[in-house]
């Protein structure tokens, strides 16, 4: 098996096991992660919070259709599932990943997906989180203040865990007529 494909399969295994140390060991210090043209993480330090958030959200990934593009680049389909998606009725989200390596480590990961699907998912999640935050402002203001001080979501494992619990509580209250 191609050594770059082996690295991607190792990343998949580590991701699904919540092994952030192994995941981080696969990236260069200056890794750049972007999705549909928007940078989502710069550098290994930027990846830490993102990976910890994925672990807290029960993120599972599957890398398929892995294709060697050239000596240092792979293209693949990534299927992602997480507790937020499941909670809000989205089974999974698929995207195309272009993964570039330098000295055997991932230095650039560019995610792209169908623009309409991405916009629909973002719109749905934005509306649902808006409803959760509105409810939490009345029912759980102390938790909301911890995860969104000044209105900006804190990117951390603890914040993600608290947000997920808040979403579950909101869904239960909404289902009970609350």
- What local confidence, expressed as pLDDT, does residue 42 receive? 87
* 75-90 confidence digits (pLDDT tens): 999 999 999 888 888 8
Say what the pTM is. 0.83
Domains in the chain: boundaries = 3-112, 115-175
The DSSP result for 44-71, as a single string, is: HHHHHHHHHHHHHTT-EEEEEEEEEEET
CATH of 3-112, one of 3.10.450.50, 3.30.470.20, 3.40.50.300, 1.10.275.10: 3.10.450.50
Rounded to an integer, what distance in angstroms lies between the CA atom of residue 90 and that of residue 136? Answer: 22
What are the 10-residue block averages of pLDDT along the chain, 178 residues in total?
94 94 96 83 88 92 96 96 87 91 95 81 86 94 93 89 93 74
């Amino acid at each position: 098996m191609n050594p770059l494909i082996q690295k991607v399969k190792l990343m998949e295994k580590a991701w699904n096991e919540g092994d952030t140390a192994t995941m981080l060991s696969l990236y260069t210090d200056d890794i750049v992660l972007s999705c549909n043209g928007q940078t989502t993480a710069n550098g290994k330090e930027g990846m830490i919070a993102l990976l910890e958030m994925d672990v807290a959200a029960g993120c599972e990934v599957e890398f398929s259709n892995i294709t060697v593009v050239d000596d240092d680049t792979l293209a693949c389909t990534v299927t992602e599932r997480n507790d937020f998606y499941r909670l809000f009725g989205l089974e999974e989200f698929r995207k195309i990943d272009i993964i570039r390596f330098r000295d055997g480590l991932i230095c650039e990961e560019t995610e792209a997906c169908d623009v309409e699907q991405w916009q629909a998912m973002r719109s749905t999640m934005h509306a649902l989180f808006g409803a959760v935050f509105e409810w939490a402002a009345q029912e759980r203001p102390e938790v909301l203040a911890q995860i969104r001080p000044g209105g900006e979501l804190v990117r951390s494992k603890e914040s993600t865990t608290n947000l997920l619990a808040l979403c579950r509580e909101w869904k239960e209250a909404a289902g009970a007529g609350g």
